[in-house]
Amino acid sequence: MGAGSTDFNGDGFADMSILYDYGGGEAGLFVLPGKPVIDDGVTRSPYMVWSVPRGNFWPSAMKITAGDFNGDGRSDVLALYDYGGGEAGLFIYPGTSAQGSTAAEPYLVWSAPRGNFWPSVMKITAGDFNGDGLSDLLALYDYGRGEAGLFVFPGTTGRYQGATSPYLVWHAPPGNFEVSRATPAAGDFNGDGRADLVVMYDYGNNEYALWVMQGTTSRQPDSVNPYWCWHSAGWTSFPRYQLNTGDINGDGRSDLVVAVDNATWFLSGTAGSGDNATWPGLYLTDGISLNDKKITVGDFNGNGAADVITLVDKGNGVAEAWVTPGGVPAPSRYKQRVWLSGSGQFWPSVTKVA
């Protein structure tokens, strides 16, 4: 997720991008468009911006995130494709105001030949880490045995294979960092103008810490010195969660949104460090299992604060989308429906969102 900016069609309202897996190598990309007034009773359906026929494209091999990689002011969908055998490619679905099956035709900006790069051991997100105005792809790489690295694929206006190439800004020697215990998101958490990688780390036994890997212009493997801004040894148990970032409270720093079973939590961005520099607050109780919801964060209604957008699986091919508006000084904590599909029309379980 970018720093709360997911405006795919460039109209000033954040959108939710939805990659749909029809099965058999058939896929589509949809946009659920933001709108200025949430509670007007008018719902909007997602519209298609790309599709491929059967046998062409396997979303199950992709990890996606969103950010303005090419710097044209519209958020793009970044897709890391796993060809298997250590072969990988990074595709950009460029944000566009157009609609239809070829509107957001993806292009390749990087690839690694067989035996070189394993997307399956990576966790990705996006944000302007180096502060040049273009969103970068950030990838936590798991070397195994507690060894990890953070790669930056810098955003670029180039549209050719090799337009970007990754560099390492942080490396943890063996025995130090288990990527399997880490969940990353990106946003300018400390408010210095560059997106940071924020990582929720699960030490086990209800012990968690929120680490900040601060954005930097440096390209050296020792550029980042992670620090934590929250640590708790006995808070509550999150067996699983989804992380997103966006400036929910409108103070200029990205905040962390943590979706768990039946609820969503919120941790305010801070420039501080230590055990209590920030603290989780309950944002929304929704009674929805994490299995049945997918969230993104962005300024859906255009009021200057990021909102939480939730795609809900109602069962039987019925999908629903909710928006919970952010606001100053505190989140407003109510949700409004912006879309409800017909029966048998849309299966959220086969989607990935960004």
- Does the footprint of Ca ion cover residue 192 (CB under 5 A)? yes
CB of 156 to Ca ion, least distance (A): 9
Which backbone phi and psi does 291 adopt, to 5 degrees? -60, -25
Q: 288 or 309, CB closer to Ca ion?
A: 309
Region of 274 on the Ramachandran plot (φ > 0 left; ψ -120 to 50 alpha; else beta) = left
Rounded (10°) CA dihedral 81, 85, 349, 127: -40
Q: Is 9 in the site for Ca ion (CB under 5 A)?
A: yes
Least Å distance, CB 43 to Ca ion, is 16
Give the footprint of Ca ion on residues 321-350 (CB under 5 A): none
- If DSSP codes are grouped into helix, strand and coil, which group holds residue 19? strand
Stretch that binds Ca ion, among 192-200, 221-229, 241-249, 309-317 (CB under 5 A): 192-200
Residue 15, interface with Ca ion (CB under 5 A)?
yes
**Of positions 2, 7, 301, 320, contacts Ca ion by CB under 5 A:** 7
Give the closest residue to 184 by CA, choosing from 254, 122, 274, 124.
Answer: 124
String of contacts with Ca ion for each residue 22-51, x by CB under 5 A: ------------x-----------------
Q: Which is nearer to Ca ion, 288 or 311 (CB)?
A: 311
How far apart CA 41 and CA 185 sit, in angstroms, is 32
Closest CB to Ca ion among 125 and 190?
190
By CB under 5 A, is residue 196 in contact with Ca ion? yes
Query: String of b and e for 221-260 (b: at least 16 CB within 10 Å)?
Result: eebbebebbbbeeeeeebeebbbbbbbbbbeebbbbbbbb
* Closest C-alpha among 108, 106, 79, 80 to residue 94: 106
Q: How far apart are CA 321 and CA 338, in angstroms?
A: 6
**Shortest approach of Ca ion to residue 300 CB, angstroms?**
8
Q: Which stretch binds Ca ion (CB under 5 A): 22-30, 188-196, 244-252, 318-326?
A: 188-196
Contacts to Ca ion from residues 154-183, by CB under 5 A: 155
CA separation for the pair 214, 222 (Å, rounded): 12
Considering beta carbons, is residue 118 or 167 the nearer one to Ca ion? 167
**At its nearest, how many Å lie between Ca ion and the CB of residue 30?**
13
For Ca ion, the closer CB: 49 or 62: 49
> Site mask, Ca ion, residues 120-149, x = CB under 5 A?
--------x-x-x-x-x-------------
What is the closest distance, in whole angstroms, from the C-beta atom of residue 106 to Ca ion in the complex?
12
- Least distance (Å) from Ca ion to the CB of residue 313? 23
Identify which of 64, 50, 27 has the alpha carbon closest to the alpha carbon of residue 96: 50
Report the b/e string of 118-136 with b at 16+ CB within 10 A. bbeebbbbbbbbbeeebbb
317 close to 345: Cβ distance less than 8 angstroms: yes
Applying CB under 5 A, the site for Ca ion has a residue count of 24
Binding residues vs Ca ion (CB under 5 A):
7, 9, 11, 13, 15, 34, 68, 70, 72, 74, 76, 95, 128, 130, 132, 134, 136, 155, 188, 190, 192, 194, 196, 215
